[in-house]
Amino acid sequence: MNESNPHSTGDVDLDALSASIKRLSEKISMVQDAVGNLNHRRVQLEDKIEDAQKRVQRILSRLPEQSDGRQLNLLNEAIPPTTSEGDSEPTTH
């Protein structure tokens, strides 16, 4: 008579254990997805950092020497040369 009670309790324990294993499996899957996303994001950020470092290095390589008094053109934009006679309108006194 008492043997049927442990059996039914064992079935309930197995059902609870199965439900716990299922929940843990789902949580593990979510954690794995999150880790995968974080790794992907890390790689993207590393690429951005590398590109930024290359841009900085390119800018630094264009800097004139300390003794050079020319104006810096770090963005590689065309800057027309300024001449004193072309900048001012003739004045009459």
- Contact between 64 and 70 (Cβ < 8 Å): yes
91 — pLDDT class (breaks 50, 70, 90): low
1 — pLDDT class (breaks 50, 70, 90): very low
Global pTM reads: 0.50
Longest dimension (CA), the chain: 127
Q: Is 43 exposed, middle or buried (0-12, 13-18, 19+ CB in 10 A)?
A: exposed
Taking residue 35's Cβ as centre, other Cβ atoms within 10 Å add up to 10
Q: Is the pLDDT of residue 4 over 50?
A: no
Token couple for 87: 């900048």
pLDDT at 85: 55
pLDDT digits 0-9 by tens, 12-71: 899 999 999 999 999 999 999 999 999 999 999 999 999 999 999 999 888 877 666 566
Q: How far apart are CA 6 and CA 25, in angstroms?
A: 28
